[in-house]
Amino acid sequence: MHTGTTGPRRPLFLMAGSFGHAVGERLADVLTGAVTMGVDEGSHPSFWPVSDLLVLITDHSRPTLAEAVESSAYAWGVPWLPIELEPAELRCGPAVRPGHGACHRCFVRRRDQHDRSPVPRRVRERHGSGTGDDHAPHPGRARVTGYAPHHVGMAVALARAAVRDLFAAPPESETTATRVRSVNLADGRTARHHVVAVDQCPRCRPPRGGEDTSWRTFERLTGAAPVGG
């Protein structure tokens, strides 16, 4: 587990797609001790070298890989962050510090919770820009992706800011953890948000002792009858 405050000593960049490789190689030039690994066809944590920071960089959403990276980050006690290039948005984060703040699962749930589209995101990805994982949107048809050279520079800048968040603040601080930075590729607007953990998330907010800490706590205080008898 990394305990210093100067930055990662051996970051691992897991790269998929031409955008992922371009960003990972650029980041490896500016962060000392970096290791790069292509994961275009998937990967397994047993092949990953010991690192104090995991970064997954892809040219579209890869939820299976993201779940594998986060599971490993929590098991090893190291921070991690994803960088994803979507059709209209470049997103860096959430910058996750296991044990302090929300996890990536919470980010996905909060994103879906506040999605204003009447069509669920997974359905849009399946019938529009792909399923969001390792399969093309239509059988036998390759996924269409692309990026401009300056998108690489923007991703590197966002990543360096996220790394500062993770390593400059004390490990117990949650003020800079789980931040998400993004750039709207249509109008150039930038944004920064903080992810709020989902109550009783099994990964980052498990109930203490296994009890239901939401309803039962307030039932006793308010004298309300339990739902369903």
Domain membership flag for residue 59: yes
Mean pLDDT of the chain: 81
What's at 75, amino acid-wise? A
pLDDT digits 0-9 by tens, 18-73: 999 999 999 999 999 999 999 999 999 999 999 999 999 999 989 999 999 999 99
Residue 172 is predicted with a pLDDT of 59
Residue 59 is predicted with a pLDDT of 92
Domain membership flag for residue 226: no
What's at 210, amino acid-wise? G
Q: Identify the H or E element spanning 153.
A: helix 149-168
Domain membership flag for residue 145: yes
Q: Is 13 helix (H, G, I), strand (E, B) or coil?
A: strand
Residue-number span of the structural domain to which 48 is assigned: 11-198
Domain membership flag for residue 184: yes
CATH number, residue 125: 3.40.50.720
Task: Provide mean pLDDT across the span 115-136.
Answer: 51
pLDDT digits 0-9 by tens, 84-110: 999 899 999 999 999 888 999 999 998
Q: Work out how many domains the chain is built from and give that number.
A: 1
Q: Do 9 and 2 touch, CB atoms closer than 8 A? A: yes
Residue 219 is predicted with a pLDDT of 52
**What is the distance between the alpha carbons of residues 151 and 88, in angstroms, rounded to a whole number?**
11
Task: Provide mean pLDDT across the span 188-215.
Answer: 78
Q: Identify the H or E element spanning 181.
A: strand 179-184
**What is the distance between the alpha carbons of residues 195 and 116, in angstroms, rounded to a whole number?**
18
Domain membership flag for residue 129: yes
Q: What is the pTM of this model?
A: 0.79
Over 80: is that where the pLDDT of 214 sits? no
**What is the distance between the alpha carbons of residues 98 and 96, in angstroms, rounded to a whole number?**
6
**What is the distance between the alpha carbons of residues 122 and 27, in angstroms, rounded to a whole number?**
30
Domain membership flag for residue 229: no
Domain membership flag for residue 114: yes
Contacts for 138 with CB less than 8 Å, ≥ 6 apart: none
**What is the distance between the alpha carbons of residues 8 and 141, in angstroms, rounded to a whole number?**
39
Domain membership flag for residue 217: no
**What is the distance between the alpha carbons of residues 193 and 47, in angstroms, rounded to a whole number?**
33
